[in-house]
Amino acid sequence: MKHVILTPNPYRDTNFQTVRAAMKVLKDAGMEPKLCLPFEVDRSYELPKDLRFHKLDRELQNAELVVCFGGDGTILHMAKAATRKNVPILGVNIGTMGFMAELESTELDQLARLAKDDYVLDRRMMLDVVVQRDRDIIFHDIGLNDVVITKGAIARITHLAVKCDGVEAIQCGGDGVIVATPTGSTAYSLSAGGPIVEPEANNILITPICAHDVMSRCIVASDRRTITVELVRNARRNAYLSVDGGKALRLNMGDVVTIKRSPLQTKLIRLKDRSFYDVVNMKFKKIQG
């Protein structure tokens, strides 16, 4: 491996100290790292003049790996672009949890192993999301973590009908519903009372958010199912959809959200020989202090 893209989150990596150290490790190992911003920064944010930033879309054409510096949000943001180009991702955690990150910022020396192809690939399922309004497709995206449909900031409940392969699974009134992958089981779904699911499992999780009906419980469905979500009735007649925490799309009565397993898979680089349960235990101990 030689051509590596480094995508630091400028709001987390103060003065790009972590990415600078990573560049030195990679260059010393004989690789050719190039810096790219994972997203557009505010115009008021001043980038260091001694660092050269390249165009992400252009560099992804020939890249062999993307190294993300930040939290899980940075990795999720990069996952879509990298996966569409079949480029694997390695996460370096500068955030709080970092479930998807392989390394902490204190373990950058491990990056030298990439030059010798000393790593394994971890393939993660993604979700394909389509929103249909009347006969038109108004939204299409892919997500690694989850699809969230909520009432937004309105202090009223939203009523949603969730179907699996056309058969009603749950009809819940509350703050909304989360449809997640096993990777996303440790994110918002977990906070809403959903189970922790191994990333290797082939499942789609359906987790109601603050459901008023006590019978509304999380469903662990097969990845072969097609999930549809529709608004049943709502005082304001709208809800909001977000994929992997991205920009929200306003949904109207009659819109149909269709969610199924995507043919694309996110590839995560693994350098450590550790169990998923080791990661879970370590992260929760970190939270507890």
Task: Single out the residue of 114, 226, 117, 80 nearest to residue 166, CA to CA.
Answer: 226
Would you name the residues annotated as active-site residues?
72
User: To which residue do tokens 């977990």 refer?
Assistant: 190
Q: What tokens appear for 267 in the block?
A: 């590839």
Contact criterion met (CB below 8 Å) for 92 and 103: yes
The span from the CA of 278 to the CA of 259, in Å, is 31
